[in-house]
Amino acid sequence: MDTMPTEIQGMLQGVGGSFDYTTIFVGIAFSIVGWGAWRYGRKIQSGRHMLLGVALMGYAYFVPNPWWSFVVGSLLTGFLFWP
């Protein structure tokens, strides 16, 4: 294999470019919070908590910037405690 075609290189880099370690760490941290929220929602049968838990576990796949990842995760976590 001499070189990879540009289409394959683009797919390997992903849609938003490459992720850095900060984005991965923030995503994992909020995913753990989301997992806890989902389990709590399942235990008390609260669809709101389960939905926010799933959102916290999944949003990191779509936000490549660490600052936006932190902002979105903080807002979703805040909605967990909003009455």
Residue 36 has pLDDT above 90, yes or no: yes
The predicted model gives 29-56 an average pLDDT of: 97
Mean pLDDT of the chain: 86
Biggest CA–CA distance in the chain, Å, is 59
The predicted model gives 58-73 an average pLDDT of: 93
Q: Which residues have a Cβ under 8 Å from the Cβ of 12 and sit 6 or more positions away? A: 4
Q: 55, exposed or middle or buried, with CB in 10 Å at 0-12, 13-18, 19+?
A: middle
pLDDT of residue 2: 56
Q: Are 38 and 50 in contact (CB under 8 A)?
A: yes
73: helix, strand or coil:
helix
- Token couple for 14: 């992903």
